[in-house]
Amino acid sequence: MLNDTICAISTAVKDGAISIVRMSGEDAFNVIREISDIKEIHPNTIVYTHVKDKRQIIDEVLVSFFEKGKSYTRENMVEINCHGGVYVTRMILNLLLEKGCRLAEPGEFTRRAYLNGRIDLSEADSINDLIRAESMIQARSAIRGINGSVERLILPLMEEMKDVIAMIEVNIDYPEYEDEREMTQEVIRPYVEKWVKDCRQMIDKAERFRVIKDGLNTVIIGKPNVGKSSLLNALLEKDKAIVTEIAGTTRDLVEGKVHLKNITLNLIDTAGIRNTEEKIEKIGIEKTMEAIEDADLIILVVDASNIDEEDRRLMETYQDRNLITVYNKSDLYKTGDISISALNNDIDALKDYLNEKYRDDISLADEDILNNERQIALMKQCLNELEELMAHIDYESTDITVTGLDAAYHDLCLILGKEYQEDLIDHMFRNFCLGK
């Protein structure tokens, strides 16, 4: 229901200097009049007043008014800046509910912004991403998204597709209309070829960037006792995993997340790899193997003071993966490119190496790029449609081709949450004067 008035506490519900209670909808201005000294409302102003329940003052507040059409939701909106106590904030919210407002569902203000045409779906995605951002890079890409980066990215492709689809439709529907270019399969083919390339490129960039943004799934592996858990703890800057001098200490997977300058690592410390008959340790090593399967990056730790055949075997086994070998216990013996001492928290060599390795990908944050799983999945669907089309284009009629193109175009519309039919029909009528 869009015509009711919703309300919610928009700040975190805990002690703080101020809280904001928000209202949006047709009745927002009436409700604030009922519960305060405000008589006249001048949009786009901030007014000092008291919120009252009957004649009892609840709080001294500042109220901002946003006029329909110009507000976040494009509806009349009121924001009450009250004192930040949990109790006072809840009292004000309850008062709004008593006066007929409905408690907003999560995301409902943004949902209204979308339904009222203030933002598109990709921008709504980005607002959510910004709120949940945990690192500079996540925040930077989200703010680009809010400013329409996805639309900028895919609109040129959509325009091209729309033109070609519209021309084919005209060919089919008005064969007698000879002014139009004839859309044979030979004419259509190069377009589709180009779009396949465009889509692949966008997906590839988005996936590279996703790793940068959401973190690289990283396993720390090696023989027992080489210092894997010590490295995990040094990276996390806390004693998360148990460290002892006994080989086979870690059995379960131990996880943690660390934000380095240019890259976030989703770390998993694992059980040391060796031949063992010990039941629990054996299960632990099986888990290690599964974690390796799913990893984006493998950090192989070796004890620099004591490298043997087994270390070399591990280096060889994973040489085709994204593998880096770290030479630990540099306080005892120094060798290798990445030489660290996890025990002494002397791990800068590893951090520097990783920051350097992912330095270029970070600049993707400043490009227009698909931002999240939903968008990437739809782009992949679009690519599938186009590839399918390419496979048969020489044997199919243009009727079939246009159906495939329609489906691909539809996927792009969904990325932005645009109404597909309306969009295409608008376009056809704008570009072709068929009514003559």
List interacting residues with ligand GTP (CB under 6 A). 222, 224-230, 243-245, 247-250, 271-272, 328-329, 331-332, 341-343
Residue 356, number of CB atoms within 10 A of its CB: 11
Amino acid at 418: K
Q: Longest C-alpha distance within the chain, in Å?
A: 88
Q: Residue 226: which of ligand GTP, Mg ion, none does it interact with, CB under 5 to 8 A by kind? A: ligand GTP
- Minimum CB distance to ligand GTP, residue 230 (Å): 3
270 binds Mg ion (CB under 5 A): no
Q: Which of 402, 411, 414, 404 is nearest to 381 (CA)?
A: 411
- Minimum CB distance to ligand GTP, residue 274 (Å): 8
Residue among 245 and 293 whose Cβ is closer to ligand GTP: 245
Q: Distance between CA atoms of 395 and 418, rounded to whole angstroms?
A: 32
- Minimum CB distance to Mg ion, residue 270 (Å): 8
CA 117, 123, 129, 133 dihedral sign is negative
- Minimum CB distance to Mg ion, residue 248 (Å): 8
Q: Residue 71: which of ligand GTP, Mg ion, none does it interact with, CB under 5 to 8 A by kind? A: none
Token pair recorded at residue 286: 């099986």
- Minimum CB distance to Mg ion, residue 242 (Å): 7
Q: Which of 63, 110, 321, 137 is nearest to 217 (CA)?
A: 321
Residue among 80 and 268 whose Cβ is closer to Mg ion: 268
Q: Please give the span between the terminal C-alpha atoms of the chain, in angstroms, as a whole number.
A: 42
- Minimum CB distance to ligand GTP, residue 218 (Å): 15
Q: Residue 58: which of ligand GTP, Mg ion, none does it interact with, CB under 5 to 8 A by kind? A: none
Q: How many CA atoms lie within 13 A of 425 on its CB side?
A: 5
Q: Residue 341: which of Mg ion, ligand GTP, none does it interact with, CB under 5 to 8 A by kind? A: ligand GTP
Residue among 304 and 408 whose Cβ is closer to ligand GTP: 304
- Minimum CB distance to ligand GTP, residue 258 (Å): 16
Residue among 206 and 301 whose Cβ is closer to Mg ion: 301
Nearest residue to ligand GTP on Cβ basis: 272
250 binds Mg ion (CB under 5 A): yes
Q: Residue 399: which of ligand GTP, Mg ion, none does it interact with, CB under 5 to 8 A by kind? A: none
Residue 400, number of CB atoms within 10 A of its CB: 13
Q: Distance between CA atoms of 255 and 266, rounded to whole angstroms?
A: 7
Q: Distance between CA atoms of 365 and 215, rounded to whole angstroms?
A: 14
Compute the residue count for the chain. Answer: 436
24 in Cβ contact with 5 (< 8 Å)? yes
229 binds Mg ion (CB under 5 A): yes
Q: Distance between CA atoms of 134 and 156, rounded to whole angstroms?
A: 32
Q: Residue 328: which of Mg ion, ligand GTP, none does it interact with, CB under 5 to 8 A by kind? A: ligand GTP
Q: How many CA atoms lie within 13 A of 395 on its CB side?
A: 3
Q: What is the DSSP letter of 398?
A: H
Residue among 221 and 383 whose Cβ is closer to ligand GTP: 221
- Minimum CB distance to ligand GTP, residue 148 (Å): 47
> What mask of x and - would describe binding to Mg ion in positions 271 to 300, judged by CB under 5 A?
------------------------------
- Minimum CB distance to ligand GTP, residue 281 (Å): 9
Q: Which residue has the tokens 């660390």?
A: 258
Q: Residue 404: which of ligand GTP, Mg ion, none does it interact with, CB under 5 to 8 A by kind? A: none
218 binds Mg ion (CB under 5 A): no
Token pair recorded at residue 239: 């004693």
Residue 225, number of CB atoms within 10 A of its CB: 19
- Interface contacts to Mg ion, rule CB under 5 A: 228-229, 249-250
